[in-house]
Amino acid sequence: MMKKNVNRRNFIQTASLAAAGFYVMPFFASCKSDTSTRHPETVNKMDKDFIADLDLQLTALPSQTSIYPNSSTKTYSYKASIIKGSEDNLQNIEGSYLGPVIRVKKGDKVRVRYENQIPAESIVHWHGLHVSHENDGHPEHVISEGETYYYEFEVMNRAGTYWFHPHPHKHTGEQVYKGLAGLFIVSDKEEGKLNLPQGEYDIPVVIQDRTFNDNKQLQYLGDGEMDRMQGFLGEQILINGKIDNTLNLGANGKYRLRLLNGSNSRAYKLAWDNGEPITVFGVDGGLLEAPKKLPYLILGPAQRVDVWLDLSQQSENSRIKLVHLPIPLDMMGGGMMNGGMMGNSSSNHLPYDTQFDILEINVGAFAENNAQLPGELSSFNTLAATDAINKDNPRTFTFAMGGMMEWTINGRTYNGTEVAEEETVKLDTTEIWRINNGNQFSSDPDDDSGMMGGGMHGNGGMMGGQGGMGNMMQMPHPVHIHQLQFNILNRNADKVDDKLWEATKDGFINEGWQDSVYLLPGMQMDLIMRFEDYKGLFLYHCHNLEHEDMGMMRNFKIV
C-alpha cells in the first residue's frame, strides 16, 4: 500500500566499518486519547536536486544484544550504512544496542533514508538540530513498519554533541528504552582551530538506567501507572549500552568525555570521587566561552556536556570514579518520587538520595597526547533581553499536574497539530519564554493558583499535607524546545524546597547555548530564543519521556 510521498523499500543492511584510522573504544567497541491525524502529504520524499555530502541508510529494527555474558537480550537498534560519504562519518558501537555515532561538519548537506522495521509506528527526531518542520521528526510524520522517510537538511549548528531518537506520541519512552538512540556529532572550523582531544581521546559516554528481569530481558514500566506518573527509574546504570561501566585510559592522557544523559527520566548529580572539580567546556549547543569548574554537575535527561579529563597527575594502575551524589528527591514529603498516593513502590530502582557509581576509569599504560584546554574557547554573541519583542511581557508556560490527573503545559495536553494562541510566534523575532514548574491542579489554563494550595511545601489547600496528592506534583520537569538553541537569562529558585536547592544549586550551568533545561519543582526560568530560517510546527515538551508520552507536550508554530 503506497502512500503519497512515502516509499516502501526493502534494504539489505550491512554494518559499516569503523572509520579508517578512527579509534573505537572497546566498551563503546492512563492517558488522554490521541486525536492526532497522519498527514502523508507533508512527508518528505527524496529530492533528486538535493546534492548530499553524506547520504546514509538508517534502519530501526528488532535486534538481539549480548548485554550480559552468555545471554541474549531483545532490543531495538538503529543500523546504518553509508551510501555516499566518508567512513569517517560513521562510527558503529561494537557490541552495543545503541548507535551509531554520526559525525558531520557544519555546512554538510545530509540525506538520511530512514526505514522503519520495528513493529510500531516511529519517526526520528534530530535532537538539538536547527532544521525545518519536515526534518524535525514531528509525531505527525510517523511511518509504519516497512515504510521509509527521507530527511534532507544542511547542518547549520555549531560544533557540538547532538543526538537522535524516536518521537512517536505515546511510544517515545518505550522505543528509546529498548535502544533507539544515537549521537550526532558536529565539528566546525572554530573548534578545529583548538587543540582539543581527538580520535581515541574523544570519547562518547551515554548514561542510561535500565532494569532487567531474571531472564536478562529489559523490563519497562514494571510498576505500571506508578512508573508512568513519576517517570521510569532503572535498577542499574549502563554506559554506552553496556553493563560494563569501566573505561581503560592511558596515564598522562588528556580526554574529552562527551556525556549524554540518555535516561528516560532520571537526572544525575555527577562528581569525581577523588574530590577534584568537574571541568565542563561544552553544553547542548557547543563550546562555552570559557571552561567552567564545578564541585558537581546536575545533568538532566537529554542534556549533554563536554567534560575535560586530564590524567597527567594520575599514576599507572590508579582508578577514578564518576559517581552520582545524593539528591533529596526520593524523600520529598513521601510524594510521587517515593510512592505517594499509589502506595509504596515495589521497584528496586536506584534511589536518588544515595551515592552510586556511574563510570569507573582505570588508568593504564602511558598514553600522552598534547591536547590543551584554553582559557578562551569560543567567541559568540548571546541574545540580549532588550532585543526581545516581549521583554516586558514574556510568554509563560507552566508545567504541572492538571485536573484530570494529567501532566500538562498551561493546563493543556498534546493534541496532534493543535496550536493555542500563545503558542504562535513570528519568524525573525526574538522572544523570552518564562517556564515554571508549578503546582497547578486545574483544567483552567489561566488558573495557576492550584486546588492543592500550599505551593512547594504542600501546606493548607484542599489536598495539603505530607504524602497527599499535593506532594505528588513535586517533580522536576526537564524541558526541551525543538528546532533552536536558547540562552538562559535567569533561574529563580525562590519557591524551590530549601534542601533540594542546597543540594543542587552549584551544579547548574547557565552559560552557552542550550536546548534542554532541568526545571526543579517550584523553579522558574527565563529563556531567550530567536525564531529564524524556518516556518512551521515544532514541539516543546517535558523530556521525562513518560510525561511526554502522557501528553506533557505541545506545539509552537512559527509563522
What's the confidence (pLDDT) of residue 486?
98
pLDDT beyond 50 at 505: yes
- Count of CB atoms within 10 A of residue 346's CB? 9
pLDDT beyond 70 at 2: no
What's the confidence (pLDDT) of residue 332?
43
Q: Which of 154-168, 281-295, 437-451 has the lowest mean pLDDT?
A: 437-451
Q: Of 38, 57, 59, whose CA–CA distance to 142 is shortest?
A: 38
What's the confidence (pLDDT) of residue 331?
47
Q: Band of the pLDDT at 5, cuts 50, 70, 90?
A: very low
What's the confidence (pLDDT) of residue 99?
84
What's the confidence (pLDDT) of residue 296?
98
Q: Band of the pLDDT at 40, cuts 50, 70, 90?
A: very low
pLDDT beyond 90 at 20: no
What's the confidence (pLDDT) of residue 467?
35
Spell out the residues 6+ positions from residue 382 whose beta carbon is closer than 8 angstroms to its own. 487, 528
The pLDDT of 83-87, averaged and rounded, is 96
Looking at per-residue pLDDT, the higher value among 50 and 405 belongs to 50
Q: Say whether 199 sits in a helix, a strand or coil.
A: helix
Cell of 89: 562519518
- Count of CB atoms within 10 A of residue 297's CB? 24
pLDDT beyond 90 at 448: no
pLDDT beyond 60 at 1: no
Q: Which of 215-224, 331-340, 427-436, 539-548 has the lowest mean pLDDT?
A: 331-340
Which DSSP letter does residue 212 get?
A: B
What's the confidence (pLDDT) of residue 68?
94
What's the confidence (pLDDT) of residue 45?
79
What's the confidence (pLDDT) of residue 44?
62
What's the confidence (pLDDT) of residue 439?
56
The pLDDT of 486-511, averaged and rounded, is 97
The pLDDT of 224-240, averaged and rounded, is 90
Q: Of 102, 4, 100, whose CA–CA distance to 54 is shortest?
A: 102
| pLDDT tens string 162-195 | 999 999 999 999 999 999 999 999 999 999 999 9
What's the confidence (pLDDT) of residue 15?
34
Give the Cα separation of 289 and 309 in Å (integer): 18
The pLDDT of 149-172, averaged and rounded, is 97
- Confirm if 66 and 95 have CB atoms less than 8 A apart: yes
- Count of CB atoms within 10 A of residue 484's CB? 20
What's the confidence (pLDDT) of residue 42?
42
The mean predicted confidence, pLDDT, of the chain is 85
Please report, for residues 1, 526, 557, the alpha-carbon distance to residue 423 in angstroms, rounded to integers and kept in the order given. Answer: 36, 16, 6
| pLDDT tens string 506-550 | 999 999 999 999 999 999 999 999 999 999 999 999 999 999 999
pLDDT beyond 80 at 362: yes
Which DSSP letter does residue 110 get?
A: E
